[in-house]
Structure 1
Amino acid sequence: MARLLPGTRALRTFEAAARHLNFTRAADELGLTPAAVSHQIKEIEDQLDLALFIRTSRTIRLTEAGNVLFEASIDALDLLNRAVSRARKMTRGTALLKVTLDAQFATKWLMRRVDDFRQRKPGIELRFDITYDVRDFERDDVDIGIRFGAGKYPGLAAHRLFDNIIIPVCSPALLASGPPLNEPRDLFRHTLAHIDWSRQGVTWPNWSMWMHAAGVDDFDDSRTLVFGSSTDATQAALDGNAVALADFAMVANDLSQGRLVRPFELGIKVAPEFAYFLVYPEAVKDDARVAAFREWLIEEAAKTPT
């Protein structure tokens, strides 16, 4: 008689426990209690009549059988996730296009333009996956994405959208009521905000880099506000709490509407290999929905001031 295999939920619990080699961390990831994880692992071991973990008072490690099942569970869950993604795409019809992108690009650039696309292509329904996570087109239920990076994505078509110029911005109220900003050194009397971002040896322009480009070599960056995202740094400027370094393309509308001002014209280009890219699997390049969105987005990107 064939022995029953663990269900999907149990397999996910085992995979997380085996990956972390810690029931507490696995429980945190899965939204369970450590006791529940331990109980599910015991049930799997009883069901298979196999010892999967060697437990001591302080640590756990996989047995040889546990290692075999761990490798198989990774492959099985990945295959299932990819199949579910394909099934969802097949069942949601040909009118829907799901776009994945980060919050800043969505709120500061795309959403104020997307009505134009809907008017031009009323037969295509757009839905958005707003996240800073990089989605997998085979595993996740998305069709096309906008990513910031170097544009080298195996198996994906990538179209560069526009250059990124980093400029200082602040609220009109701060400029009117705070210490005057006549020259770069006047910034020493203000709270300065920027983001901390590095990839592949490239650093996103920060205040030290901007001051150096402005000819100021004795700047002390220890008092700057460092944010994890450009959205937060820009919000600090909008709220009148700081002068922030921001991507010109992302704040162009705030500047034109008077919500932000640019106290100095000096801007710094992000390393040329990095930019926002439109990306999608090569296999869907001729899909009518993808082609329509691609042509429209590239056209809109060409209008973006840099």
Structure 2
Amino acid sequence: SRMLALLEEYLEVKLFLRTPGKTELTESGVILYQGVVDGFRNIEAAIHEIRARSTGLETVTLSVSTAFTTHWLMPRMHKLQAQLPNIDLRFQLISGSVSGSVEDVDLGIRFVTGEDILHDASLLLPEILVPVCSPAYRKQQLESPNNDIATTLISLSDSRIDWFELLPNFHLQAYGTTHSLVFSDYAVVLQAALLGQGIAIGWLNIASHWLETGSLVPATPTAIATERLCHLVHSRKKPLSDAAKQVREWIIAETRHDVANVAKQYPELKLDTFLAKNL
């Protein structure tokens, strides 16, 4: 506190508003704080560059969901390492709905509506939702005319999308009574669907790999696009490294390739209609 008082004396401004039990930054204090944060960020970037020069490896940190990492990235990690051998990935993982700052990472996947003045954004694809299940579950549970077993709907606890909003008549008119499984981690939601435990809402940017391989199939010939768009974003305060740009372009290319194949495999979903409006 003595050093801060000396700094205030030197600058001839107050950096803090001090009240009993509480200290807040003044406007000048906020300016100084942001400058210090930016300075440390630049130092960190310089350290990463020095390490990259000495080891030949560059590190890219992603802020993504555990579901994206588990169900989309891991099945093709060997391909990334083969195509970008000098890049190591680190992860800031989010178990539920993706949100939060990307100030401390290189890239983050976020769903965006409207203009975002704080970030540069590269479009992956629209937010497209498809009810998905395992092929065996669809055959035994949904296609059997004499099946009286209740359908199980698998959901993400903090999702802004639920079954009643997505398909209000799906659980009543189509398949009668229902049970539910609710998880706080979307990786577990998809894993439960893969294991034949029920029907999950499939975010196409995550479930596309399993739809393409046939491990998951549409539970009903329905796809819904929301008003949100899925982007790879980064802070405008932190320019992207060449390595981060390569990772960004690789993720975009792989995602578009997946979705194009899914659209061909399941024309009943009419995905081309949604994609043509945005891509």
Pick the TM interval, shorter chain. 0.5 to 0.7
SS at 1:112 equivalent: helix
> Following superposition of structure 1 onto structure 2, how do residues 45-194 of structure 1 map, counting pairs within 5 Å?
64-67=19-22, 69-71=23-25, 75=30, 82-93=38-49, 94=52, 95-131=58-94, 132=98, 134-137=100-103, 140=104, 142-150=105-113, 152-175=115-138, 178-181=140-143, 189-194=150-155
Identity %: 24
SS at 1:128 equivalent: strand
Distance 1:3 1:122 in 2: 50
Choose which of 161, 172, 185 in structure 2 pairs with 1:204: 161
Give ranges in structure 1 of 5+ residues lacking alignment. 7-61
Distance 1:248 1:265 in 2: 14
C-alpha distance 195-106 of structure 1, shift in aligned 2 (>3 A): same
Match in the other structure for 1:246: 202
C-alpha distance 237-216 of structure 1, shift in aligned 2 (>3 A): same
Choose which of 242, 257, 265 in structure 2 pairs with 1:288: 242
Distance 2:40 2:192 in 1: 41
Structure (1/2) with the larger strand percentage: 2
SS at 2:125 equivalent: coil
1:47-73: CA deviation from partner (whole Å, max 9, x where unpaired): xxxxxxxxxxxxxxx982444x2436x
Distance 1:218 1:172 in 2: 16
Structure possessing the higher radius of gyration over alpha carbons? 1
C-alpha distance 172-154 of structure 1, shift in aligned 2 (>3 A): same
Match in the other structure for 1:26: none
1:139-179: CA deviation from partner (whole Å, max 9, x where unpaired): x2x22222233264323111110123322222344345x54
User: Amino acid of the residue matched to residue 234 of structure 2?
Assistant: Y
Aligned 8 A contact 1:196 1:227 in 2: yes
User: Amino acid of the residue matched to residue 87 of structure 2?
Assistant: I
Choose which of 186, 191, 205 in structure 2 pairs with 1:235: 191
Greater mean deviation of Cα atoms: 99-108 or 164-173:
164-173
- Measured after TM superposition, the shift of residue 80 of structure 1 is 5.3
SS at 1:303 equivalent: helix
Aligned 8 A contact 2:63 2:102 in 1: no
Choose which of 277, 296, 300 in structure 1 pairs with 2:231: 277
C-alpha distance 65-180 of structure 1, shift in aligned 2 (>3 A): closer
C-alpha distance 149-251 of structure 1, shift in aligned 2 (>3 A): same
Alignment RMSD (CA, Å): 3.9
Greater mean deviation of Cα atoms: 209-218 or 161-170:
209-218
- So what's the TM-score if we normalise by structure 2? 0.65
C-alpha distance 235-207 of structure 1, shift in aligned 2 (>3 A): farther
User: Amino acid of the residue matched to residue 89 of structure 1?
Assistant: A
C-alpha distance 265-188 of structure 1, shift in aligned 2 (>3 A): farther
Higher relative contact order (CA 8 A, sep 6+): 2
